[in-house]
C-alpha cells in the first residue's frame, strides 16, 4: 500500500491544531515551555523534529501524552526514511525459515 499524501510533520500539527486555533505565537508557547523561541519556530516551521524533551513539555502545556508527540515524530521519520530507502529496501530479500 502506498501513501498518496506526503507524511505530515509534527510541526504542522503543532501549528495548525494548537497554535493557530489558540491564537498563540511561537514566542508565547516558548515562554510557557521554558525553551527558546527559535526552538518552537523551527518546529512549527517543520525545520526540526520533536525531541523527548520537547514532547514532555508540549504534553504538559497542552494536557496530552508525551507519546502523542513522539509517535507523530516516529511515524514521520519512518515514512520519510522509507521513501528515501525504497530502492535499497526493495532489494533486501525477506528471511524465510526452511
Domain spanning 10-91: CATH 3.40.50.300: no
pLDDT, residue 2, reads 58
For helices 26-33 and 37-44, give the axis angle rounded to 10 degrees: 120
Mean pLDDT across the stretch 23-36?
97
8 Å CB contact between 40 and 47: no
pLDDT, residue 42, reads 98
pLDDT at 84 over 80: yes
For helices 52-62 and 66-84, give the axis angle rounded to 10 degrees: 140
Residue 3 banded pLDDT, cuts 50, 70, 90: low
Residue spans of the domains in the chain: they are: 10-91
Amino acid at each position: 500500500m502506498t501513501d498518496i499524501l506526503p507524511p505530515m510533520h509534527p510541526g504542522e500539527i503543532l501549528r495548525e491544531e494548537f497554535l493557530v486555533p489558540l491564537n498563540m505565537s511561537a514566542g508565547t508557547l516558548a515562554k510557557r515551555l521554558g525553551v527558546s523561541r527559535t526552538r518552537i519556530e523551527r518546529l512549527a516551521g517543520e525545520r526540526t523534529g520533536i525531541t523527548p524533551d520537547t514532547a514532555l513539555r508540549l504534553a504538559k502545556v497542552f494536557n496530552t501524552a508525551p507519546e502523542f508527540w513522539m509517535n507523530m515524530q516516529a511515524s514521520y521519520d519512518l515514512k520519510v526514511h522509507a521513501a528515501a530507502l525504497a530502492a535499497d529496501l526493495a532489494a533486501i530479500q525477506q528471511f524465510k525459515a526452511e
